[in-house]
Structures are given as structure tokens and as C-alpha cells.
Amino acid sequence: MEIHFISPFDKIAQVTLNESILGRANRNGIVNYHFYNLYDFADPPHHSIDDSPFGGGVGMILKPEPIFRIIDKIIDENSNRNKYRVLFPTPDGEVFNQQIAKELSLEENLIFISGHYKGLDQRVRDEFVTDEISIGDYVLTGGDLPSLVIIDSIVRLIPGVIGKIESAETDSFTNPLLDYPHYTRPENFRGLKVPEVLLSGHHGKIENWRQEKRFEKTKTRRPDLLAKIKN
Ligand code: ADE
């Protein structure tokens, strides 16, 4: 998978995508990350990337030219435009979930536009953006963290990225119920004991216990998920 990351502050993403599992996926050749800093593609002499909104209002709007130049360059250097999904994280997008992550993990080329300031010139959205995604009903200072959240959830689903595929398959949200509690050694830590059943070696009982815990947790935290299963 080729992931292109467009941002005024691409260093945030460079550091994150170089570490841990996401960095290892890159070193193993499973995913390549490409970074584009908006200022590098802005017009001299001032290299400004934003301007005030036509029609008035507060906040600055990201200008279209640097982003058009970057996307033209990506498409020219690689292949045709139809092969790209262009993602723009924004609080007014479709709310992200595991199903969307799965679908995106099958793509070969993704372009992320991380906005900042008040907004992005609508012509970029109309011309290039295929997916406008919100990571939840709250507002962040910019699109870098949402882009990274989305990238993390996609890349870990690509075969070979995490050790055992089961660890992705038993995740909350892949199963319609939330995850069950996990324990490891020691059995007794400061008087806090691991539930007996997990030490019993009885696979049927363990499975039942886990299923019960999943159900209880989902019922208290996410009754909306249970309602979906019933329908
Ligand atoms: N940019 C700012 N807040 C955001 C959110 N909640 N989701 C996606 N992009 C955003």
C-alpha cells in the first residue's frame, strides 16, 4: 500500500509512522509512506498556504494551489486518478468505524489531506476528495491526528502487519460485542486475583465466561451495539 500524507506539519506524521508496528510495516515493505509539506508547494515569495474566506467570516482557509500541485504530482508520478482514494478528515464527515477501516485496507493508494485552520477550499474537496471522515463528535486543532488514527486502523489490518491475524479478528467491533477482560501472570498481584475460571484449563467454561463478560460490558457501555445485533 502507498500512503501519501499532505499537511502543513508533516513532521508529526513522520515521527509517528516511523515507530512501532506502523514503522515496522514500512521497513518490511508492506506499506510505503510519502510526506508532502504544504509550504514546499506554496507560491513564493511568501509561501502562504492559507487566506481569509470569501464572503467574510472568522478563521483562515487552506488555499487550493499547493494541494492541487501535490496531488497532480502524485498522480503524474504514479498512475491515473481513479486508482486513488483521497481522504479528508473533518468533523463534518462520515463517522469512522471498523467496517470503513477494513474496506480501506484493501486499497493500494491512499492520499490523506490533513487540514488546519478553519477549513479547506471547497474546490479541493469537489475535485479530489473521495472520502470525508470524522473520527468522532469532537473537534481537534487539525487533521494530522485524525489522519494518523485512520492510518493506524487501516495498516494493522493488512496481512503480515500484526503477528497473529487472530489478534485483529478478536478485536472489539470485529466481533459485534466489546472485548472481554484479559489477564496475565502473576496469578495473584498484591491480593488482586485472576478469575478462577481462567486457570481451570476448561476451554468451554472459559469461552462461556468470556462471552458473558463481552455481553455485560456491551450492555452497560454500548447498548446501541446490542440493539443492532437484535435487529
Ligand atoms: N479535524 C478536527 N476534528 C476532527 C474530527 N473529529 N474528525 C476528523 N477530522 C477532524
**Best mutation site among 12, 90, 141 for ligand 1 pocket (most ligand atoms within 8 Å of CB):** 90
191's CB contacts (< 8 A; 6+ apart) are none
pLDDT of residue 63: 97
pLDDT of residue 169: 66
Collect contacts of 97-103 with beta carbons under 8 A, ≥24 apart. 97/173, 98/153, 98/171, 98/173, 98/174, 100/131, 100/133, 101/150, 101/153, 101/154, 101/157, 102/157
Between the CA of 146 and the centroid of ligand 1 the distance, in Å, is 6
b/e per residue 97-127 (b: at least 16 CB within 10 A): eeebbeebbeeebbbbbbbbeebbbeebbee
**Best mutation site among 96, 135, 141, 145 for ligand 1 pocket (most ligand atoms within 8 Å of CB):** 135
Between the CA of 161 and the centroid of ligand 1 the distance, in Å, is 26
pLDDT of residue 165: 55
Q: Is the CB–ligand 1 distance for residue 89 below 6 Å?
A: yes
pLDDT of residue 174: 67
- Taking only the tens place, the pLDDT of each residue in 1-45 is 999 999 999 999 999 999 999 999 999 999 999 999 999 999 999
Domain 2-155 has CATH 3.40.718.10: no
Q: Is the CB–ligand 1 distance for residue 7 below 6 Å?
A: no
Residue ranges covered by each domain of the chain: 2-155, 175-230
pLDDT of residue 116: 87
Q: Is the CB–ligand 1 distance for residue 95 below 6 Å?
A: no
Fold annotation for 175-230: Trp Operon Repressor; Chain A (1.10.1270)
pLDDT of residue 170: 62
Model pTM?
Answer: 0.93
pLDDT of residue 146: 98
Between the CA of 105 and the centroid of ligand 1 the distance, in Å, is 20
Residue bearing the CA closest to ligand 1, atom 10: 90
- The residues of the chain scoring below 50 in pLDDT are none
